[in-house]
Copies of this chain bind each other. A is one copy, B any other.
Amino acid sequence: MKKFLNKVDNMLVESLSGFGTAHADLVSVNFEPTFVTRKNKAKNKVVLISGGGSGHEPLHAGYVGKGMLDAACPGQVFTSPTPDQMLAVAEATHADKGVLFIVKNYAGDVMNFEMAAEMLPFEHATVLTSDDCAVINSTYTTGRRGVAGTVIVEKCVGSLAETGADLQTCKALGDKINQRTASIGVALTSCTVPANGKPTFDISETELEMGVGIHGEPGRRREAMREADAIVGDMVAAIVADFTAKNLPLKGEILLLVNGLGATPLMELYLIYNTAAKLLGAHGCQIARSLVGNYTTAIDMAGASITVCLLDEEIKQHWDSEVHTPALRWGC
């Protein structure tokens, strides 16, 4: 493992310090406990707090700012943050309209946020994201994982909260978007957790991992490496099948997000986008909004995920509204 770091135990603090300095106009970074808050927060709005293990940058701290999150709690790499972080940041940011936690559906994240929520002395609710359709048989699992679709939830609920909407309305939009979103990822190489110093899994030059998680968790299947069109074809088919299974046929306007997992060149992401857009178009979708880049990563994994969100007027309006965060900015 070769990485830009000093002592591995200091990596998170040093990186977050740099993040705080680079974006001092937008965010403040706090340590002990660790959290990132938005500067110039609008008053009298539902406070949006997300968090999760580090290693998925720019998720979540990169989405703190106007029109998106009010705060993020970064955990150690691939390790959920702890309840003291959430309590402290909720204390530091809340006003009178309550706190909405946006949590990716992993046992650790769920339990840590749950414990924080139980201790929270004011109104709160939680949106659990679970857009990953990689895991086929739901009897195997406590639920699906939250992956890149979380960005869409954070963006749109952030926009709604900015209008002064109340807690339940914000939660409802988050739940709706999660329901209308499906993702699937594929890995060509493993990620390496810095503290481990070795790749999480072995994978040969002739294999890929279909349905990989954003922590390098194994996916649907180890498969033979093949042409991009064939890989993307299978990914799109999985997404389409997921919408069908949800009784929500995939047609009409969609948002197509092609997300790099950390080490995939933009050139390849656009190539994936090209194929995905054609296939989804042929399936009867109009690609009304697009996002291509590294938005939810798995440290240094070469791989990509495809996320489709079935739009409606409400989601589209909130996707389009002003946002100004370190990693997502438009309209201002």
Contact A228 B4, CB 8 Å, known A22-B273, A273-B18, A274-B15: yes
Interface residues in A265-284 by Cβ distance below 8 A to B read 265-275, 277
Interface residues of A in 13-49 (CB under 8 A from B): 14-19, 21-23
Q: By the criterion CB–CB under 8 Å, are A208 and B271 in contact?
A: no
- CB-CB < 8 A to A228: which residues of B? 4-6, 14
A-B contact pairs, 12 of them (CB 8 A): A2-B225, A4-B228, A4-B231, A4-B272, A5-B227, A15-B268, A18-B272, A18-B274, A21-B277, A22-B277, A263-B300, A294-B294
A55 close to chain B: CB less than 8 A = yes
One of A111-119, A148-156, A243-251, A324-332 at the interface: A324-332
Complex CA distance for A136 and B291, rounded to whole angstroms:
40
Name A22's closest neighbour in chain B (CB-CB): B290
A109 interface hit (Cβ, 8 Å): no
Does A268 lie within 8 Å of B330, measured CB to CB?
no
Task: Evaluate contact between B11 and A267: CB separation under 8 angstroms.
Answer: yes
Best-surrounded residue of A2, A287, A304 (most CB of chain B within 10 A): A2
Q: How far is the CA of A266 from the CA of B293 in the complex (A)?
A: 12
Name the B residues within 8 Å of A208 (CB-CB).
2
Instruction: State the CA gap A189–B183 with chains docked (Å).
Output: 30
Q: Does A302 contact B (CB under 8 A)?
A: yes
Partner among B4, B264, B277, B297 whose Cβ is within 8 Å of the Cβ of A271: B4
Beta-carbon contact of B17 and A274 below 8 Å:
yes
Contacts of A270 in B (CB 8 A): 15-16, 18-19, 22, 57
Given known A-B contacts A228-B4, A332-B331, A266 and B290 have beta carbons under 8 A apart: no
Q: Hey, which chain B residues are within 8 Å of A285, CB to CB? A: none
Contact digits for A205-237, partner B, Cβ 8 Å, 1 yes 0 no: 100100000000000000001011101100000
A185 on interface, CB distance cutoff 8 Å: no
Which residues of the partner chain B approach A189 to less than 8 Å between Cβ atoms?
2
Question: Does A265 contact B297, Cβ atoms closer than 8 Å?
Answer: yes
The distance from the CB of A244 to the nearest CB of chain B, in whole angstroms, is 25
Determine the chain B residues whose CB is within 8 A of the CB of A267 once the complex forms. 11-12, 15, 54-55, 57, 77, 299
Q: Which of B6, B21, B266, B332 contacts A287 (CB 8 A)?
A: B21
A68 within 8 A of B: no
